[in-house]
Amino acid sequence: MPYHEQSITSVRRWSPKTFSFTTTRPPDFVFENGQFVTLGLRREGKLVPRAYSIVSDPREADLEFLSIHVPDGALTSQLAELGVGDHVWINSKVTGSLTLDHVQPGRNLYLLATGTGLAPFISLIRGEKVYERFERVILVHSVRTAAELSYREEIEARVGERLRYVPTVTREPHANNQRGADLFRGGELFRMLDLPAADPEHDRVMLCGNPQMNREMTDYLKANGWTMTNYKGVGNFTVEQAFVGVAAGD
Ligand SMILES: Cc1cc2nc3c(=O)[nH]c(=O)nc-3n(C[C@H](O)[C@H](O)[C@H](O)COP(=O)(O)OP(=O)(O)OC[C@H]3O[C@@H](n4cnc5c(N)ncnc54)[C@H](O)[C@@H]3O)c2cc1C
C-alpha cells in the first residue's frame, strides 16, 4: 500500500487562489530538495491523487506543500476546505527533475517559477547544498497578484549575497510588472541584479511553471546554446511542469 494516511498539522492561506499546508510525515519517507510526490483525498472510498512538489527541507519533521485552489478542481476544491487534524494520503514514491543532480554545478543558478511552481524552489533554498554547488542563487517568482507572492517574507529573510529574489506581478501595479521569462530573455534581469548575462558555460537554469512559461523558456534556451537535462545526460537547464493542462497563468 504505497499511500500513507497523514494528518494536516497547519494551514496558511496566502490568497483566494493559493494556500500552504503541512502534514505529518510517513515513517521512512525519504526525499531530496526539489522533488514531488503524489497525494490525495479519499472521497466515498475513492482516492483522488495529484502531483505535489514538496516545499519542506528533508531535515524538517513535517512535510509542507503549496497548493492552488481550483474551485471546480476534483482535489483542490476539497483540499482547500480542510483544517488541522484532517487527513490526506501521501504516496511513498518521490521523484522529479528539479533536484541539484539535474544540473551541472556552476556559477549562478537561476530558478524561474510562476504561481505554485515556487514550491520546489523553496525546498531548494531552505537546503544547504544549493549554496555549496553555486556561487549565487537567483529566484524569480512571477504571479498575477501580489497576494500570490507566497513565502515572500521567508525568502526576503534569506536574501543576501548568495540568494537574490525577483518577485514580479503581472496583473496589478507593482515595482516589477514583467514576466520572469521576459526579464530573462530580454536581459533586463541581469542588468537589474548587476550580474553578467546568463551564460550556458557557467550558469544553470531550473524552470517550474505554467506550460507556456516552460515552453517559451525551453525554446529560448535551446536556441541559445543551452542543453536540457534528459535521459541522455545532465545539461545546464532542467524543467518541470508546475501543473498539467491549459495555461492558466501568463
Ligand atoms: C510534477 C507536478 C507537480 C505539481 N506540483 C504542484 C504543487 O506543488 N502545487 C499545486 O498546487 N499543484 C501542483 N501540481 C498540479 C496538481 O497536480 C493539481 O493539478 C492541482 O492540485 C489541481 O488539482 P485539482 O484536482 O483540483 O484540479 P485539476 O483537475 O488537476 O486541474 C484543473 C485545472 O486547473 C489548472 N491547474 C492545476 N494545477 C494548477 C496550479 N498549480 N496552478 C495553476 N493552475 C493549475 C489545470 O490547468 C487544469 O486546467 C503539480 C503537477 C505536476 C504534474
Ligand 1 centroid from CA 244, angstroms: 6
Q: Exposed (0-12), middle (13-18) or buried (19+): which is 73, by Cβ within 10 Å? A: middle
pLDDT above 60 (res 80): yes
pLDDT interval class at 1 (50, 70, 90): low
- Ligand 1 nearest-atom number relative to CA 73: 26
Measured in Å, residue 64 CA sits from the centre of ligand 1 at 16
pLDDT of residue 180: 98
Atom number, ligand 1, closest to the C-alpha of residue 245? 47
Cell numbers at 146, concatenated: 501580489
pTM score, whole prediction:
0.96
The alpha carbon of 117 and the centre of ligand 1 are apart by a number of angstroms equal to 10
User: Per residue in 146-198, pLDDT tens?
Assistant: 999 999 999 999 999 999 999 999 999 999 999 999 999 999 999 999 999 99
Residues with Cβ within 8 Å of 19's Cβ and at least 6 positions away in sequence, in order, are: 11, 12, 13, 66, 67, 69, 80
How far, in Å, from the CA of 116 to the mean position of ligand 1? 9
Count Cβ atoms within 10 A of the Cβ of residue 198 and give its class: 0-12 exposed, 13-18 middle, 19 or more buried.
buried
Q: β-pairing, 3-15 with 87-95?
A: antiparallel
What is the second-level CATH architecture of the domain 100-241?
Answer: 3-Layer(aba) Sandwich (3.40)
Given pLDDT bands bounded at 50, 70 and 90, which one contains residue 43?
Answer: confident
Which numbered atom of ligand 1 lies nearest the CA of 79? 26
Q: How far is the CA of 88 from the centre of ligand 1 (A)?
A: 16
pLDDT band at residue 246 using 50, 70 and 90 as cut-offs: very low
Distance from the first to the final alpha carbon of the chain: 39
Q: What residues does ligand 1 touch, defined as CB less than 6 Å away?
A: 36, 50-53, 66-68, 70, 73-77, 115-116, 119, 240-246, 248
Q: What is the largest CA-CA distance in the chain?
A: 55
* Domain spans, the chain: 3-95, 100-241
* C-alpha span between 5 and 104 (Å, rounded): 37
Q: What is the mean pLDDT of the chain?
A: 95
Quote the CATH superfamily of domain 3-95: Translation factors (2.40.30.10)
Residue of minimum CA distance from atom 30 in ligand 1: 73
Residue reference for cell 542588468 = 191
